[in-house]
Amino acid sequence: MDIRLEKFGTVLLTRDQGKPIRAKLLSLIRSGHAIRVLFDDVETVTPSFADEVIGRMLLDLGEADFRKNITLVCSDPATRRLVNAVLANRKRELLRS
Amino acid sequence: MISTNKTSIDQFPAPLLQDFARIPQSRKRIQVDLADVEHLYIFGIGLLATWLRTAAKQGRVANATETTRRYLDRIGFIDVVEGRTADLWAEDEGFAIALQRLQSTSSVFALTDRLVAIIDKHGFLGSDDKGGLQTTFAEMMENVLRHAGSFRNAYVGAQYYPKRRKLSIIVIDDGIGIRQSILTGWNDELKHVATTDEAAVSLAVKPLITSKPVRKDRELGHSGYGLYVVSELAVRNAGTFALTSGDATIFKYAARGNPKSRIMLHAPWHGTIVSVVFDLNQLLPIREVWATLPMIEGYSSEDFFEN
């Protein structure tokens, strides 16, 4: 199932913006859907938003289930780097816990 | 009575801390002599006001000129010292934010809104960057409050200096300080590193540092982006960033275009202070900072995206 983040806004800034989106995505995954999260047409993503939505899903699901159920799609190298940096941090926490 | 004449936009007011250390906390009345003061900048004003609020039952200034006294009143100094809260909207037309007590998350958002409005009025800011900058400032203040451990005496103030086109921002509290915050947190690895205030302030400006990992404290476990992003923003803007806690301050700045940092040891401040000076002649490259968030050592090849 494709989830276009742009549907939630082209400027994605705060953790408060991210919380309901994460809840929706987790609900879809837990009801058996694999999802593709598309960043196309999103103009701004902050580290906080990325962490609240994507980083915390990694913690909630664990890396194996995260990779199995979520595909991230983004053509913008800056956003990819930001999200990868956020996820790497959460992966490190996951491995340490 | 104490007296000092050392406060400036760019200069760290270490002599003030030295003066504070000489005065016992139990003093009921403290009078600050402003006779020798030539310039009052927001960093020194915030520091002095918070200290007087904390250290004295009754604090006052003496020998201030009428102009100085009026400015201290307008910038919220008198309100802080006397335990009132200045009106956020009462000051001078987009040039300053009078010292405001941070009382809640909503007060953080009101303040960040004002800060961005000042930058937008006097500097260069893309319309798409306003929200991101506001979020970044909010996270910085939130980071400071987390280290403070409470909202008890935490203040924010800002002043724009038109001749030099510089904006100076101070966030200050008299809380437990960064090192103690780390030592009372959940992150055992950081506890081993934060053995001194010097080590603690150095840690706090690194990206992705939190004393409260999410596994044990999910709802509060934000990764620390606020202090890191603001400090990088200052460096890339040819501004300066200083983070003080206990007896150490870390400065981040650019020298001839190269990022630098240095540590100063001084008389202790019981709490945390962030001081940022932005050069509003130049852009605040917030997107550049986000786009170059450093990858954690050992994880640089991680790619979670579909190729």
Q: Do the chains contact at A47 and B306, CB–CB below 8 Å?
A: no
List residues of A whose CB lies inside 8 A of any B CB.
Answer: 11, 13-15, 36, 43-48, 51, 54-56, 59, 66-67, 71-74, 78-93, 96-97
Nearest to A28 by CA among A56, A49, A2: A2
The verdict on pTM exceeding 0.90 is: no
**pLDDT computed for residue B2 by the predictor:** 58
Name which of B222, B228, B208 is nearest A84 in CA terms: B208
Mean pLDDT to the nearest integer, A48-74: 94
Question: Per-residue pLDDT tens for B13-56?
Answer: 888 888 888 877 666 788 888 887 777 889 989 999 998 888 87
User: Does residue B221 register a pLDDT over 60?
Assistant: no
Task: Give yes or no for residue B301 having a pLDDT over 90.
Answer: no
Q: Are B245 and B147 in contact (CB under 8 A)?
A: yes
pLDDT tens digits, one per residue of B146-200: 766 666 788 999 999 999 999 999 999 988 899 998 888 777 778 888 999 999 9
Distance CA B57, CA B66 (A): 25
Residues of A in contact with B306 (CB under 8 A): 36, 71-73
Q: Are B200 and B248 in contact (CB under 8 A)?
A: yes
Q: Give the pLDDT score at B4.
A: 54
Q: How far is Cα B91 from Cα B85, in angstroms, rounded to an integer?
A: 13
What six digits make up the tokens of B103? 């009382």
C-beta atoms of B304 and A89 within 8 A: no
B272 contacts B246 by C-beta, under 8 angstroms: no
If we measure between CA atoms, which residue out of B164, B98, B146, B138 comes closest to residue B130?
B138
Confidence band (pLDDT; 50, 70, 90) for B232?
A: very high
Check CB contact under 8 Å for B222 and A15: yes
pLDDT at B218: 42
pLDDT at B91: 57
Q: Does the beta-carbon distance from B131 to A84 stay under 8 Å? A: no
Using an 8 Å CB-CB cutoff, list chain A residues near B135. 13-14, 46, 48
Residue B188 neighbours by CB distance under 10 Å: 9
| Cα of B92 to nearest chain A Cα, Å | 29
User: With bands split at pLDDT 50, 70 and 90, how would you rate the model's confidence at B211?
Assistant: low
The full length of chain B comes to 307
pLDDT on residue B235: 96
pLDDT tens track for A3-54: 999 999 998 988 888 999 999 999 999 999 999 999 999 988 988 899 999 9
Q: Give ipTM to 2 decimals.
A: 0.87
